[in-house]
Amino acid sequence: MRSTWPKFSACILSAVLVIAESTCQAADPPQGKPNILLIVADDMGYSDIGCFGSEIKTPNLDALAARGLRATNFYVAPSCSPTRSMLLTGTDSHVAGIGNMAEWAGPTQRGKPGYEGYLNSRVVTVASLLREAGYHTYLSAKWHLGEKPDQWPAKRGFERDFALLQGAGSHWSDMLGLLPSEPTVTFTRNGEKVKELPADYYSSKYFTDFVIQNIDENGRDGKPFFAYLGYQAAHGPLAVPAEWRDKYKGRYDKGYDAIRAERLDRQKKLEVVGKDVVTFPRLPNIPAWEKLTDEQRRQAARKMELYAAMIEYMDDQIGRLINHLKKTGKYDNTLIVFISDNGAAGEDMAELVTKLAPTAKDWFDKTFDNRPENWGRPGSCMEYGPPWAQVSSVPFRLFKGVVAEGGIRSPLIVSGPGVRHEGAINHSVLHVMDILPTFLESAGIEHPSKVPGSTVAPPQGKSMWPLLAGRQQATRTDTDWLGWELFGNRAIRQGDWKLLYLLKGAGGAGDWELFNLKDDPAEMHDLSAQYPEKRQALLKLWEEYVQRNGVIVSDAGPYAQPER
């Protein structure tokens, strides 16, 4: 490893798939228009649910995976709003208006097309298209795609919404923000600003309640629904209802090194990863568990206990929604997709706030009670930090904020009508932009960009239905490719090959590196010298990616080196 990771990162069961005809019979998308339930976790790592190797109890997500398909090579962006822009529009974030996160946009990017900081007029959302086709459309989620009234969910196709507009904030009724410039967060409900939340509000429960309420209120007219349930969990601050705070007490006393090894072993047994895969090593600026003092170990273990409880509580709420769908007879006709919006978060919120606003530290310290005995409760603002984020990222390199695999690889579960892969695993390359085309095909809708003279940006993703229905083994060929850029960090993937550029401040080499992900998913062995022609070919694809999407490369963001 060439450099150490910085102290913070950015904010802001069974069978390996060999999709054989014996297990996957050819089928078409479901007849008629299915209900669609899209569930998105926030800042949840690749290995944080049971069916991807975790010790955290997630029986409801595991059951969805056993009924449908798990994908191990599913990609997102390295941070939340770029992913959400691609999820809802099917096109690259640099086209959709989130070329950089609004909080970090640099001087060469501000005001340029694709860098508006909100969903722009060049794109249309899947909610708008489904609503026009006769769907009820509901959003109960973190939005983070524009804070002005004409940018709210109600203006982007959602018939009903409960939305947290900012990228982060309290999980409780206090509505605390994380910056002195924005000391309270903003929620909308059905296109109106929310003045206050119920006293017993907790994000994961209320988000679920809102979806159930709207499905029930509109369930008698025969129209299908599209529900986007975007949990705030497990994004910091760590927070969990009182009766859940000690569910994992003592579970992490053995430390992050041991838990990482256990997760990798479990992933191999589940065939999520190959039997010869090794995990990216513990970062050199993270001490071995046995080097910590007793008090340091106690506090570190407590953070992971709370994080695990947040994940299990989210799974419990997903189970409550699924049980409601079953009781109301809607489950069998509901296509369910589950993802995380980016890799695990290794950030320190106090340091990140200071980076965004150097004068904010005093405000932060006065606003939040971060004594260990208050962790997980209202009024605290703590995260679990890089050591546990590496656990959540097993077996990959780094985590949220960078385009290394730990920042952009997400679990994907797809279950429901037309999905012909009961309990199977798929190892082909998929992308968050594929979700919109998949939903449109399931509902029999054509994207408006295909209409002659249309100025709407076309989707760049590909429908997953040929794969889901068993007609194909993969959505992409080895000649197809994908690109990423955020905060000046860049990547191209084609087939098994990945070209990666990480700034030195982001834990990288400050130069392009070449990896074969089939043999080295942890990105530990730069093959540039052995395969210069492959490196050059991928560099040309990078140039094509920049031109195609109007990318303006800038290191504006948390990894920029201070001026000297």
Amino acid at site 510: G
For 491, the 3-state DSSP assignment is: strand
Nearest to 401 by CA among 468, 487, 335: 487
For 323, the 3-state DSSP assignment is: helix
- Of the candidates 11, 24, 136, 144, the residue annotated as catalytic is 144
For 2, the 3-state DSSP assignment is: coil
Q: Which two tokens stand for residue 42?
A: 């926030």
- Of the candidates 80, 94, 171, 421, the residue annotated as catalytic is 80
Nearest to 113 by CA among 562, 552, 560: 552
Question: What DSSP assignment string belongs to 222-285?
Answer: ---EEEEEE--TTSSSPB--GGGTTTTTTTTTT-HHHHHHHHHHHHHHHTSS-TT--PPPPPTT
Question: What DSSP assignment string belongs to 388-455?
Answer: HHHHHTTTSS--TTSSSHHHHEEEEEEESTT---TTEEEEEEEEGGGHHHHHHHHHT---GGGSTT--
Helices 256-270 + 385-392 axis angle, to 10: 10
Q: Is the dihedral of CA 69, 159, 153, 457 positive or negative?
A: positive
Eight-state DSSP code of residue 359: G
| Residue 489 CB contacts under 8 Å (≥ 6 apart), including other chains | 78, 402, 403, 501, 502, 503, 506, 508, 559
Q: Which two tokens stand for residue 538?
A: 């991928």
Whether 144 sits among the annotated catalytic residues: the reply is: yes
Cα gap 382→366, rounded to integer Å? 14
Torsion angle of the four alpha carbons 260, 265, 268, 269, in this order, in degrees rounded to the nearest 10: -140
Nearest to 495 by CA among 445, 538, 438, 549: 538
Strand-pair partners of 163: 141, 188
User: Which residue has 């992913």 as its token pair?
Assistant: 83
Cα gap 109→130, rounded to integer Å? 32
In 319-396, DSSP assigns E strands to 334-340
Q: Which two tokens stand for residue 25?
A: 């019979």
User: Among the residues of 54-160, which ranges form H helices?
Assistant: 59-67, 80-89, 93-96, 126-132
Nearest to 47 by CA among 309, 273, 238: 273
The catalytic residue positions are 80, 144
